């Protein structure tokens, strides 16, 4: 066993982020250059080997005869077969390896290993270089050539073994510096093991996206990876990173839509379980952020939980498998904002409603309803646990690990609110779901010797009648009898047990299919509110992937036919149109061969002896059975190389993705998809509005009445278009829609069949790469001219860059002059009759020069316009200042006159006030003076009077004294 050691981070030069990348401010790439080939260790784990020099270590040389086993033959039995190969212990590169990396690509080999590959020439003449060796069991292993002698070479393997092999069986390996490149076009040697190792190398580092020329390869990690969120969206929006990503594809689509005013489409394909649905949601998330602002983008994103709940189910290979196809057409306004959307669906797998294989589940919504319905709703619908419904318990699978059905039910209810489905309509929707579940529990009892039956009058029948709004007796009659018209009479025929069960199941499937169509219609009404058609849209196609099971029925037949048509669209755009355009425009081009699936499409579509034609023909015969249909196919199609008849009722088709054997059991019944007129009339008579709407749609889809004897399954009074015919029509409409858009392809790859994170089965991955033609795309893109532009458009776009005036010259001369002026090497472009064809990256040089020139012109124009604006502003400023001076002068003079008048008035008022104050003061002083004077006068008078009185007294006493002396009696009396 080998051990994992540290790797030299050579993959970093590809502008891919490491696993532990974290945004610090603005996210940017950090490409590292290697000038001298010395690589620093960055702590990234690598699958490298301690045996770095290919030393044999004294091991015995083993001889391997006949080189390598045929990988295609090993995978013939099933598109999912193949041997697991985990590449370990890759030796490092030495100096001569780097020299070999710069060598020209080897020529095409005719060996059976690589008829698709150009880089698998004899490698034995190169010594001490790395090479890929394939063991007889199909496993690839990296070795080192020790010596070469004639047609034999001695190689050492990572585990120390030394082998002698045929030199022609060795395939060159790329130098270590190319480990983990983010675009397969960068590989020096493009071969199967190199591509597988490159994808595995990136997958182990959680770099799940890789470019294959114009195609994005996305490997399902089966876990959460830190590659999404607003930071990453901003980074791709601002072009600060260029790593392959779904965001990059969506960004390219929206930019090309705005620039070219051409509708775009993002076509997501891959096997069931490859991650198509999640990839579509990621693309929608990016478009919603870039085109957000109107609020409609939030509604578009919220359609996903609804469509997944009602259209997805658990299969043996995928816990969330889309059992229908959908095309989401997102419309944009002139300003680049989302203005509305429309959803188109294809071929819902109705049989899953009534029948599930062991270990699978029916549609998610049934389990979500039973687990998450609140008490009031449960009582109203009389809901029970999932294991009490026959339709759900037949598979013995009721839950999915890590999935909370109750929580998802609340998410679905919130989404229904957001897309404006009223509460009343939501209750009606849940009632229809409960009615379907209860229909599965309706049982029948035999009433006579002819095996005629009638429905048992139990809880199930009563609940169904209550939920759809009809009488239980009418429901019983519709399930156990059939009305037919013979001449002018109406005859009621009783049904046998098998016929009654088929009628019951047909009613359940029709109710569910009608409900699904009604929900999509309501969603489209909500998304179309306020929508203005501007001719700008991006369509995202998420359709079921190629399927091959142990038993493949009618559903797989239709699904794989759709994948054949989509593969043809892929071939047409990336192979046929590419090469036809070179030839038509006179380009020197060596045509690249690729596997075309046109023969398989003819097998399906040819009239009158194609699979679909014969199926529809047999479906119209009253006595047609699945066995007669299988015999008819063997009789008419055995000469077709893509068809092979099998025993009994089986046949095999060689699809582009591999051979699939179909069991015709149930083909005719499912293709007829008949719901008898009795059941339609029952639905139209219901009091609930939803069954009435379902019945109306069914009647509108009816093609013609069927008159005559009943077919063996029970007969019908009204026949719709067959499912195959309807599906083919939808598919052709889809193709017409896609043909009117510029396509962007995303190929989803399933790394293992066990949904296990980190597990990488190279045999499975290789088969998927072969199926979808990714490597042929890389070869054509690398050897061709992926960028092309009409002469007129090229001259108009870049003509102003010419140093001399070329206005009088024709567009071709202008285009050639531009190429010469910018010294674009002749091998980097070719001049066609109507267009110029460029190698990868050449148009980017011109575009950068154009942008820089336009930027310089805009700078000059901005300066000149700024100068003009300044002069004009100054003139206006001077005029305004003059006007303002006059206005302000006049205003000031008026204000001064008013002020002067007020001053004068103030002075007068002040005079009067001062006079009054002076008079008042004077009066006060005068009055005070008078008072003082009067006091003083009174004092003087009193003083005088006192003086006089004192003198009088004195005189009196003087007199008295004189008198007493004369008269003592008189003196005493005094």
Contacts 24+ apart (CB under 8 A), 793-796: 794/818, 794/836
Give the Cα separation of 590 and 885 in Å (integer): 82
Domain spans of the chain?
Answer: 130-173, 554-664, 786-907
pLDDT, mean of residues 276-304: 90
pLDDT tens sequence across 150-193? 888 888 888 888 988 888 888 888 888 788 889 888 887 888 89
Q: Is the pLDDT of residue 712 over 70?
A: no
Task: Determine contact, residues 678/698, Cβ cutoff 8 Å.
Answer: no
Six-digit token string for 301:
């994103």
pLDDT value of position 92: 36
Give the Cα separation of 215 and 744 in Å (integer): 7
pLDDT value of position 122: 45
Question: Please, what's the largest Cα pairwise distance for the chain?
Answer: 200
Place 101 in a pLDDT band, splitting at 50, 70 and 90. very low
Burial of 30 (0-12, 13-18, 19+ CB in 10 A): exposed
Closest of 288, 409, 269, 397 to residue 769, by C-alpha: 269
Q: Looking at per-residue confidence, does 552 or 703 come out higher?
A: 552
pLDDT tens sequence across 442-494? 999 999 888 899 999 999 999 999 999 999 999 999 999 988 776 677 788 89
Burial of 821 (0-12, 13-18, 19+ CB in 10 A): middle
Sequence-separated (6 or more) residues with CB below 8 Å from residue 151: 124, 166, 167, 168
Closest of 140, 211, 179, 162 to residue 56, by C-alpha: 162
Least confident of 104-113, 200-209, 554-563, 895-904: 104-113
Task: Determine contact, residues 731/562, Cβ cutoff 8 Å.
Answer: yes
Q: Is the pLDDT of residue 2 over 60?
A: no
Any idea which architecture 130-173 has in CATH? Roll (2.30)
Six-digit token string for 52:
């770095």
The total number of residues shown for the chain amounts to: 974
pLDDT value of position 521: 95
Place 840 in a pLDDT band, splitting at 50, 70 and 90. low
Q: Which residues of 300-330 are buried (b: 16+ CB within 10 A; e: fewer)?
A: bbbbbbbbbbbbbbbbebbbbbbbbbbbbbb
Place 95 in a pLDDT band, splitting at 50, 70 and 90. very low
Strands in 650-655's sheet, in edge-to-edge order, are 643-645, 650-655, 658-663
pLDDT value of position 872: 93
DSSP 72-137: HHHTSS-TT---------BPPP-HHHHHHHTSPPPPPP-SSS-TT-SS----TTS-S-EEEEE-TT
Angle at 657 between CA 656 and CA 662, to 5 degrees: 95
The CATH number fitting domain 786-907, selected from 3.40.50.150, 3.10.105.10, 3.30.70.1590, 3.40.630.40: 3.30.70.1590
Count of alpha carbons within 13 Å of 878, Cβ hemisphere only? 5
According to the per-residue pLDDT averaged within each range, which of 296-305, 423-432, 568-577, 582-591 is highest? 423-432
Six-digit token string for 458:
């139990």
Coil/strand/helix, residue 591: coil
Q: Is the pLDDT of residue 433 over 90?
A: yes
Place 420 in a pLDDT band, splitting at 50, 70 and 90. very high
948 C-beta neighbours (distance < 10 Å), count: 10
Q: What share of the chain is helix, strand, coil (3-state, %, to 5)?
A: 50, 15, 35
Residues of the chain with pLDDT > 90, as a percent, come to: 45
Q: Could you tell me how many helices (H) and strands (E) the chain has, helices first?
A: 31, 29
Residue carrying structure tokens 């046929």: 576
**Cα–chain center distance at 399:** 27
Contacts 24+ apart (CB under 8 A), 423-426: 425/522, 425/690
Task: Determine contact, residues 388/398, Cβ cutoff 8 Å.
Answer: no
Average per-residue pLDDT for the chain: 80
Place 43 in a pLDDT band, splitting at 50, 70 and 90. very low
pLDDT value of position 261: 86
Residues recognised as catalytic: 272-273, 277, 318, 321-322, 545, 547
Residues at the binding site for ATP are 270-277
Burial of 765 (0-12, 13-18, 19+ CB in 10 A): buried
pLDDT tens sequence across 536-588? 899 999 888 788 888 899 989 999 999 899 988 888 887 777 777 788 888 87
Give the Cα separation of 120 and 681 in Å (integer): 67
Q: Is the pLDDT of residue 65 over 60?
A: no
Helix ranges (H only) for 312-452 are 351-354, 364-372, 375-381, 390-393, 405-418, 423-440
Closest of 149, 176, 184 to residue 164, by C-alpha: 149
What does the radius of gyration of the chain's CA atoms come to, in whole angstroms?
A: 47
Least confident of 25-39, 843-857, 936-950: 25-39
Q: Is the pLDDT of residue 68 over 50?
A: no
pTM of the model as a whole: 0.70
Q: Which residues pair with 145 in a beta bridge?
A: 155
Place 90 in a pLDDT band, splitting at 50, 70 and 90. very low
Least confident of 8-22, 437-451, 747-761, 772-786: 8-22
pLDDT tens sequence across 238-254? 989 989 999 999 999 99
Q: Is the pLDDT of residue 702 over 70?
A: no
Q: Is the pLDDT of residue 138 over 60?
A: yes
Q: Which residues of 38-66 are buried (b: 16+ CB within 10 A; e: fewer)?
A: ebeeeebebbbbebeebebeeeeeeebee
pLDDT, mean of residues 24-34: 35
Cα separations in angstroms, 556 against 115, 560, 562, 663 = 30, 6, 10, 10
Task: Determine contact, residues 384/370, Cβ cutoff 8 Å.
Answer: yes
Six-digit token string for 682:
């029952």
Q: Which of the 8 DSSP states describes residue 363?
A: B
pLDDT, mean of residues 513-526: 95
Any idea which architecture 554-664 has in CATH? Up-down Bundle (1.20)
Place 532 in a pLDDT band, splitting at 50, 70 and 90. low
Q: Is the pLDDT of residue 385 over 90?
A: yes
Give the Cα separation of 119 and 130 in Å (integer): 14
Closest of 112, 72, 204, 220 to residue 771, by C-alpha: 72
Give the Cα separation of 230 and 249 in Å (integer): 16
961 C-beta neighbours (distance < 10 Å), count: 12
Omega before 608 within 30 of 0, i.e. cis:
yes
């Amino acid at each position: 066993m080998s051990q994992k050691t540290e790797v030299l981070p050579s993959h970093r030069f590809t502008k891919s982020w490491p696993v532990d990348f974290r945004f610090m401010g603005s996210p940017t790439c950090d490409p590292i250059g290697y000038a001298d080939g010395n690589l620093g260790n960055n702590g990234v784990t690598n699958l490298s080997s301690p045996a770095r020099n290919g030393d044999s270590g004294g091991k015995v040389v083993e001889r391997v005869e006949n080189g390598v086993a045929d990988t295609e033959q090993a995978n013939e039995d099933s598109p999912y077969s193949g041997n697991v190969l985990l590449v370990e212990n890759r030796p490092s590169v030495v100096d001569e390896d780097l020299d070999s990396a710069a060598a020209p690509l080897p020529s095409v080999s005719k060996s059976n290993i690589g008829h698709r590959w150009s880089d698998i020439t004899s490698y034995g003449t190169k010594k001490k270089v790395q090479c890929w060796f394939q063991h007889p069991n199909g496993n690839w292993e990296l070795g080192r050539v020790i010596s070469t002698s004639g047609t034999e070479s001695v190689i050492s393997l990572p585990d120390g073994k030394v082998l002698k092999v045929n030199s022609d069986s060795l395939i060159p390996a790329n130098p270590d510096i190319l480990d983990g490149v983010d675009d397969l076009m960068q590989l020096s040697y493009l071969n199967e093991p190199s591509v597988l190792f490159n994808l595995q190398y990136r997958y182990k580092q959680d770099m799940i996206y890789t470019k294959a020329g114009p195609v994005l390869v996305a490997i399902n990690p089966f876990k959460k990876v830190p590659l999404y969120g607003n930071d990453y969206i901003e980074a791709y929006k601002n072009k600060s990173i260029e790593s392959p990503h779904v965001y990059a594809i969506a960004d390219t689509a929206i930019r090309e839509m705005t620039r070219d005013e051409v509708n775009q489409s993002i076509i997501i394909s891959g096997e069931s379980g490859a991650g198509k649905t999640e990839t579509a949601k990621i693309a929608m998330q990016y478009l919603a952020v870039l085109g957000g602002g109107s609020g409609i983008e939030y509604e578009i994103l919220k359609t996903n939980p609804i469509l997944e709940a009602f259209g997805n189910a658990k299969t043996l290979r995928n816990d969330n498998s889309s059992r229908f196809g959908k095309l989401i057409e997102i419309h944009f306004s002139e300003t680049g904002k989302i203005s509305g959307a429309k959803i188109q669906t294809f071929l819902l797998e109705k049989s899953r409603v009534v029948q599930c294989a062991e270990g699978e589940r029916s549609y998610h919504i049934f389990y979500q309803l039973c687990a998450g319905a609140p008490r009031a709703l449960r009582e109203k619908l009389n809901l029970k646990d999932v294991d009490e419904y026959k339709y759900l318990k037949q598979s013995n699978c009721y839950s999915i690990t890590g999935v909370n059905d109750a929580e998802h039910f609340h998410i679905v209810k919130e989404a229904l609110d957001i897309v404006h489905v009223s509460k009343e309509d939501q209750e009606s929707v849940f009632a229809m779901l409960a009615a379907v579940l209860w229909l599965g529990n309706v049982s029948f009892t035999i009433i006579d010797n002819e095996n005629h039956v009638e429905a048992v009058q139990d809880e199930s029948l009563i609940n169904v009648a209550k939920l759809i709004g009809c009488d239980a007796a009418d429901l019983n009659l519709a399930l156990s009898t059939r009305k037919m018209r013979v001449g002018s009479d109406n005859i009621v025929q009783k049904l046998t047990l098998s016929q009654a069960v088929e009628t019951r199941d047909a009613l359940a499937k029709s109710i569910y299919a009608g409900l699904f169509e009604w929900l999509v219609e309501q969603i489209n009404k909500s998304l179309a509110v306020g929508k203005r058609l501007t001719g700008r849209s991006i369509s995202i196609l998420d359709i079921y992937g190629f399927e091959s099971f142990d038993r493949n029925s009618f559903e797989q037949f239709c699904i794989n036919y759709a994948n054949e048509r989509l593969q043809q669209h892929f071939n047409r755009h990336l192979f046929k149109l590419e090469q036809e355009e070179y030839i038509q425009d006179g380009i020197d081009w060596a045509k690249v061969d690729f596997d075309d699936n046109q023969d398989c499409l003819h097998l399906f579509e040819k009239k009158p002896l194609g699979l679909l034609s014969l199926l529809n023909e047999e479906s119209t015969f009253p006595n047609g059975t699945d066995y007669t249909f299988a015999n008819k196919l063997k009789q008419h199609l055995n000469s077709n190389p893509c068809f092979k008849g099998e025993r009994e009722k089986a046949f095999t088709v060689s699809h582009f993705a591999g051979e699939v054997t179909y069991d015709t059991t149930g083909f005719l019944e499912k293709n007829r998809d008949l719901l008898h007129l009795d059941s339609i009339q029952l639905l139209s008579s219901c009091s609930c509005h939803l069954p009435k709407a379902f019945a109306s749609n069914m009647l509108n889809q009816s093609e013609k009445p069927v008159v005559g004897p009943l077919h063996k399954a029970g007969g019908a009074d009204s026949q719709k278009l067959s499912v195959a015919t309807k599906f083919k029509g939808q598919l052709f409409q889809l193709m017409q829609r896609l043909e009117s858009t510029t396509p962007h392809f995303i190929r989803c790859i399933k790394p293992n069949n066990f949904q296990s994170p980190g597990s990488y089965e190279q045999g499975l991955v290789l088969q998927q790469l072969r199926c979808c033609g990714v490597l042929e795309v890389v070869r054509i893109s690398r050897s061709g001219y992926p960028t092309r532009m009409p002469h007129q458009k090229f001259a108009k776009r870049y003509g102003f860059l010419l140093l001399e005036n070329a206005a009088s010259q024709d567009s071709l001369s202008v285009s050639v002059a531009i190429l010469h002026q910018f010294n674009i090497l002749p091998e980097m472009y070719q001049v066609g009759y109507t267009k110029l064809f460029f190698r990868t990256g050449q148009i980017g040089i011109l575009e950068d020069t154009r942008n820089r020139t336009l930027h310089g012109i805009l700078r000059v124009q901005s300066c000149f316009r700024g100068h003009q604006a300044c002069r004009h502003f100054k003139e206006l400023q001077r005029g305004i200042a003059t006007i303002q001076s006059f206005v302000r002068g006049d205003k000031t003079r008026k204000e001064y006159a008013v002020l002067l008048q007020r001053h004068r008035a103030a002075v007068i008022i002040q005079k009067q006030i001062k006079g009054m104050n002076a008079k008042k003061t004077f009066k006060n002083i005068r009055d005070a003076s008078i008072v003082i004077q009067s006091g003083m006068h009174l004092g003087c008078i009193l003083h005088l009077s006192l003086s006089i009185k004192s003198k009088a007294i004195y005189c009196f006493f003087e007199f008295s004294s004189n008198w007493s002396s004369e008269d003592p009696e008189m003196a005493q009396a005094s």
